Amino acid sequence: MAGERATESTESTRASESAAADARVSNDAASNHTRAPASQAWRSQRAWIVLMLTAILGLAADLGSKYVAFDWIAGTPVRLDREAVLEIGNANYMIPPHDPVTVVPHVLEFKLLANHGAVFGIGQGKRWFFILFTLLALVISVGMFAGWTTARDHLAHVAIGLVLAGGVGNLYDRYFYAFVRDFIHPLPGVTLPFGIAWPSGSREAWGYVSNVADLFLIIGIAVLMYRTLWPHKDSRMDAPAPAPKA
């Protein structure tokens, strides 16, 4: 009789432990299920605030810097005529000859340039292509925010905000001026070492003039590439857990 009672007690204990384990698995699954929607960025007010604040401040910095540059660097305000640019196809004649403004010798200078292409002067004259391409890129960026980032991945939200600011800033220029206003020239007068030259034949280390929008685009894309390789911890936590063994 004592042996039977001991056996019944052991079986009862095992049953209780099994039921408790099943309850824990069920609770964990329910927790994961309910946590996943809450971790999505588009459901988070704070994530939207970070995104929109970055985009708005970035856009203001880009458009404000362009306004100041074209009002000050040439020594006289540059008056831009969109219709004339569309008719002639080149706005650089509107920019008076001027000496660059040196910020740090051989590191940074400011000079005005009308860019009818994209970053680094690519695709000169393809204005409508870049307008449509930019609109598509902006839609994809918002989609990445909503479907790819998590609520607490504010680094990714800032990066996407910078991409939006840079894209909208240059889109504004292309639509309202028919070109992009550039003025930032890094590494002026610095040449490539050992006689190395670019495919174009130029030995200038950095022969491109850009703007704040381009800077934001480069930073934003670089951070998003980093996030692709090293995701936020919430992304790993929200990954589907393996099914419990029977």
Query: Would you kindly state where each structural domain of the chain is located, as residue ranges?
Result: 1-38, 42-237
Which token pair is 187?
A: 């590494």
Which token pair is 201?
A: 């034949």
pTM assigned to the model: 0.78
Is the distance from CB of 82 to CB of 177 less than 8 angstroms? yes
208 C-beta neighbours (distance < 10 Å), count: 17
In Å, how far from its chain's centre is CA 124?
24
180 C-beta neighbours (distance < 10 Å), count: 27
Is the distance from CB of 217 to CB of 166 less than 8 angstroms? yes
Which token pair is 203?
A: 């030995």
- Rounding to the nearest 10 degrees, give the CA dihedral for residues 213, 219, 223, 225: 90
What DSSP line would sit under 97-138, residue for residue? P---EEEETTTEEEEEEEESSSGGG-STT-HHHHHHHHHHHH
- Residue 75: per-residue pLDDT: 94
- Residue 18: per-residue pLDDT: 58
The residue type of 158 is: V
Q: Give whole-number Cα distances, 231 to 13, 52, 133, 137, 219, in Å.
A: 43, 22, 27, 21, 17
- Among 215, 169, 174, 214, residue whose Cα is nearest residue 91: 174
- Residue 36: per-residue pLDDT: 45
Which parts of the chain have pLDDT scores under 70? 1-38, 118-125, 234-246
- Residue 243: per-residue pLDDT: 52
Is the distance from CB of 234 to CB of 151 less than 8 angstroms? yes
